[in-house]
Amino acid sequence: MPRPAGHEHNLIPVPPGSRTVPTRRSAATTRRGPTSNLRAATVLLSVAAGAGSAALQLLAGSPPTQHEPRVNLLADVNSEVSTAATATGIGGPTAGSGPLVLSAPSRSARDEVRLLDRAEQARKDRIAREEAERQRRAREAAEEEARHRVVAPVQGTITSNYGPRWGTTHYGLDIANVTGTPIVAPMRGVVLDAGPASGFGLWVRIQHEDGTITVYGHINSYAVSVGQQVEAGEVIAEVGNTGNSTGPHLHFEVWDPSSRKIDPLAWLQEGGANIG
């Protein structure tokens, strides 16, 4: 029987008459050759060992001469190890191929100063806005208070109050003073009338923002015109003795928004004004 090709080396010759038993190599005994990486590592270790041995011998021997310093030998050792590592492709990165380090962009001193200036300007702007808002609120509060604040129209002596008088009703407050004494508006308002009036001689009427109307009779002269807006404390006329009057004084009346005539002294005191 012909032998299978490629298996001649598995047969062992035996004496005639003996039974021939082919031998087979076990898979467990099969060995592979060293890999390329292993061979490279072996080379590297050999080179390093040789170089290290040479260095130790030199260090243990006589001191180096001027022409053969130890530092040169150590440099040669390092060079050989590095060359072997490069040739075999193992080991750490070679010179010139170090890790790439990414650094954050740095700001210059000028940029830092610019940022600080902007922050300071923003702070100043915020303070200015807050101050402007504070002043606006204070102004509005003062204006609101002024709208409700009542000023005495004139100072003098009260000669007749609101209420019954001589069998009739006296609807005003008479305040005596010399002719020409300034009369002022008790609140902000708009002039409704300024001129002659029956029984009053000359008068002025002002309608205020809350709808209240104030009347000034027997005046000597007036300093406003119809439709004019006046502020609290603004001069509108002078004390006089015109019309049905018994002496220079101001006849002052207050009409509520429904045109009902109310006590002028109580209205003044309620608004914080006093006649003294």
218-227: per-residue pLDDT in tens? 999 999 999 9
Phi, psi of 39 (to 5 degrees): -60, -40
pLDDT of residue 148: 73
Q: Which residues contact 178 (CB under 8 A, 6 or more apart)?
A: 239, 248
pLDDT at 215 over 70: yes
% the chain with pLDDT above 70: 60
Phi, psi of 173 (to 5 degrees): -120, 120
pLDDT band at 26 (very low <50, low <70, confident <90, very high): very low
Share the mean pLDDT of the chain: 77
Q: Using one digit for the tens of pLDDT, what is the confidence trace for 143-189?
A: 877 777 899 999 999 999 999 988 889 999 999 999 999 999 999 99
Helix (H, G, I), strand (E, B) or coil at 124: helix
What value, to the nearest 5°, has the Cα angle with vertex 189 and ends 188 and 193?
A: 140
* 84 within 8 A of 43, measured Cβ to Cβ: yes
Q: What is the mean pLDDT of residues 3-7?
A: 48
Cβ burial, residue 233 (10 Å; 0-12/13-18/19+)? middle
Q: Using one digit for the tens of pLDDT, what is the confidence trace for 98-143?
A: 555 555 556 688 888 999 999 999 999 999 999 999 999 999 988 8
Which CATH superfamily is 157-271 part of?
Answer: Glucose Permease (Domain IIA) (2.70.70.10)
pLDDT of residue 144: 79
pLDDT of residue 219: 98
Give CA–CA dist 87/85, Å, rounded: 5
Q: Which residues contact 228 (CB under 8 A, 6 or more apart)?
A: 190, 191
- Orientation of helix 36-60 relative to helix 70-88, angle to 10°: 180
pLDDT of residue 32: 53
Give the single-character DSSP code of 95. T
- The domain locations on the chain are 110-148, 157-271
% the chain with pLDDT above 90: 52
